[in-house]
Chains A and B, each alone.
Chain A
Amino acid sequence: MVNEKELQDAVKKTVEKKDVKYVVGYEKGTYGFQAKPSFAYEPKDAEKFIFSPLCVHNLAVFPMLEEKPPLRKGEEPDTRKIGVVVKGCDSRAIVQIIQEKGLDRDKVVIIGIPCSGVVDPKKIEAKFPGQIKNVDVKDDGDKFAITIDGKTTKVAKDELMPDKCKTCQYPTPVLYDILIGKEIKSSKKEDYKAVKAFEKKSMKEKWEYWEKQFEKCIRCYACRNACPLCYCKECMVDQLDPQWVRRSVDVSENTAWNLLRAFHLAGRCIGCGQCERVCPMGIPLMELNKKLEKDILELYDYISGIDAEAKPLLAMFKPDDPEEFIL
C-alpha cells in the first residue's frame, strides 16, 4: 500500500521547484468508485493527492495534451517541466514517448508508484452497484479491501482487476525520478491465451465478431485521446485533404478507423488499456492491441516502452529480421 503522505510530500517538493510547471496526479472523484486526474500548481494543491486501486487513468497522456497557444509579441515559450505520477504501465508510455523523441527526458519529472493492480471500474460497479458516496478501496495483498458505509469487504484481485493487470510484468515503474514506496517484483506471465484462442477461429467467425463490435463505434475518439501514444499533431482521421477516413459513421469507415488505430500503435502500444477502459461502447480494443503485441514479440523479440535509450521498433532494422510476409 502506498503512503499518501510520502506521495504528497514528493509532489510538494517537485512543484516547489521553479522549473516545474505542475504535477499531475490523482484525487478523489465525484462519486462511487471514481478517482480523477488532479493538477498541483502549488505545494498546497498536493494535499488532495491520493493513490489507490481506483487510480485507473494513465496520466502520461497529459504532457502530450499540453496546449501551445501562439505566443504574443515578446512572450517567451513556457519550457518548464511537467511532473507526472505514474504506475508501472504508465511509466512505459513515457519511456516509449521518450524513445520516439516525442518528449525530452529532462522535461518530465516522473514520480513512480509501484502498483500491484488497479480495479476495473466496470467490474467493481457491477459487483457493488448504486454507490453514490465515494467508496474507499485499498490494496490488501492479493485482495482489494472495499469499505462501504463503514463495512469492509475483501474481494480477490483477480475478480475485479482488468486483464492487463492480471498479466502485468512491470508493476514497478521502469523509469522514474522519485519512487514512492518499495519496488514490487512480478512473477506474472503473459501467455496470450485469449489471442491464441481467437487466432484459431475461421476468417468468417473473426470477421463477424469484429463487424458486430465496430458497428457500435460512434467515433468519439476517446480511445485515441486517452492514449498517451496517440500524440500526432494532426490525427489522420482529422485530415480533410486527403481524407483518409470518411466522416460517415458506418461499419466500413468504423473498421478503417479501428484497424488504423491499432496498426499505428504496433510496436508502440504499451498495454495500459486506456483505449478499452474509456470506450463508451464497450469495444474490446485490447484484443487488437494484444494480437499485435504478440506478433511483434514473436517476430522481433521486441517489447515496447522498456528502455528509454533503445530505438523504437519501426526505426530499427536487423539483417536477420524475418521477412517471409513481404510479398
Chain B
Amino acid sequence: MDKLILSKDNLPKFIDELIKKNTVFAPVNNNDIVIFSQIKKANEANFDFLNSQYPPKALIFNQTETIFKFKPGPKGDIEPIKIDEKKIIFGIRPCDAKSMAILDYAFSGEFKDPYFLTKRNTSVLIGLSCMQPGVNCFCTSFDDSPASSKYVDILLTDIGDKYYVEVISDKGKQIIKGENKFFKPAKESDEKSKKEAEKKAINTIKRTQKTEKIVEKLDKIFENKFWKEVADRCIGCGVCTYLCPTCHCFDIQDESTLTKGARIRVWDTCMNPEYTLQASGYNPRPARANRVKNRVYHKYNYYPKNYNVIACVGCGRCIDLCPVNIDIIDVVTRAGEVKP
C-alpha cells in the first residue's frame, strides 16, 4: 500500500486530469440533494456532503439496464448491448464501497452476471473518508470504520489542510502512476493525523445495532407476532430497498413499440405486493408483514448463511428516509431480544 499526500489545491487538478482520460462520477448537487453524476469539470463535484441521497450502487447495478435490443416481428432480430465503459467513482464513502463487495457475492455465484461484473471489474473506486457521520450512521456496528480503506482502490482522508491518500489496489496504483506529479510521499505524522481523524469520526457515531448471534436468533422467531407489530405501520413503498446500497432484487420486462424493443431489467423491491407473486395467483408473501420480514431476513439471516456477511453496511439511508420511522437499528436490536 502506498501512502501519499495530496494538497487541497491539487485535488481539483487531479480530478480534471482524470476526467481527460476517464468517465468520472462524483457527488453533485441537484436541487438540495446530492447524487453521484458524471462530471465534466472538477468544480461540478460537491465533496462537502454526508452521503449521496441514493447509493452509488446505481452506477454499477443500474436501476434500468438494457439487456439487449430487438426488432419485433417473426425474425426476432436481436442486437446485443455493449456494456458500459469503465468508470471512476470519485468520493464514494467507505460504507457504499463495502456494499459493492457485498453485491459481488450475489452477482458472481453460479451464474455470473455480465452486466454487473463487467462494470464492477472495470470501475475504480476512489473513496473519501466520512469525517462527520450522520445521526443514523452505524457502520461501526459491523466492525467497520467511516475511514476504512478495505473496499476501495484509493482512499482519500481529509486531515485538515491536505488529503492523506492510501493506494490500495493495482487499479488504484495504475491511476496514481499517471498522475504522480500531484502527490508527495506521506510522513509518519500524516499517518498519525489520519488515525486521529478516523478515531474522531468513529466517536461521533452514537447509534449501535446489536447483531450478536442474530442469524440464530432470527431462525427462532420467524413466526413471531413481533413481525406484525413492526410491519403494522409500513405503508409498502420502496424507499428502504431502493435507497439500500446492498438491495439487489430486479424484475425483467420487454418494452417495445411497433418497430423497436428492448429487454430491460429494473430494480424491484420486496415491499411491492407483486414481488414473488406467482403466475398461478399464489403469493408466498401475501401481507406487508411477510415482506417487511423478508427485508430483514435477507440482510441478517439468508445472506450471512450463504456468504458469511451481513448484507447491511450501516449507511442509515433507510432510517433517514422511511416515511413511518421503521428503523432497522431498532428492529434488529429488538428482534434479538424477542423471546421465541
Contacts and interface: CB of A to CB of B under 8 A. Distances in A.
Nearest to B273: A238
8 contacts: A31-B135, A31-B319, A57-B324, A247-B266, A274-B323, A278-B321, A281-B33, A281-B53
A30 B329 contact: yes
List of 10 A-B pairs having minimum Cβ-Cβ separation, nearest first: A220-B238, A222-B237, A36-B325, A278-B323, A225-B237, A30-B327, A37-B233, A225-B235, A280-B321, A29-B325
B255 A282 contact: no
Contacts of B54: 218, 280-281
Contacts of A131: 135
Interface in A240-282: 243, 246-250, 274, 277-278, 280-282
B33 A220 contact: no
A220 B325 contact: no
B340 interface: no
A169 interface: no
A213 interface: yes
B235 A216 contact: no
A167 interface: no
A271 B237 CA distance: 20
A34 B325 contact: yes
A65 B234 CA distance: 9
Given A30-B329, A36-B233, A132 B53 contact: no
Tell me what chain B mostly uses at the interface: helix, strand, loop, or mixed: loop
B93 interface: no
A220 B235 CA distance: 12
Nearest to A67: B287
A69 B287 contact: yes
A212 B272 CA distance: 27
A302 interface: no
Contacts of B33: 216, 281-282
B35 interface: yes
Nearest to B66: A248
A221 B269 CA distance: 11
B304 interface: no
A130 B324 CA distance: 19
Interface in A121-165: 129-132
B64 A249 contact: yes
Contacts of A65: 235-236, 288
A274 B324 CA distance: 11
Given A36-B324, A280-B321, A69 B233 contact: no
B170 interface: no
Contacts of A34: 325, 327
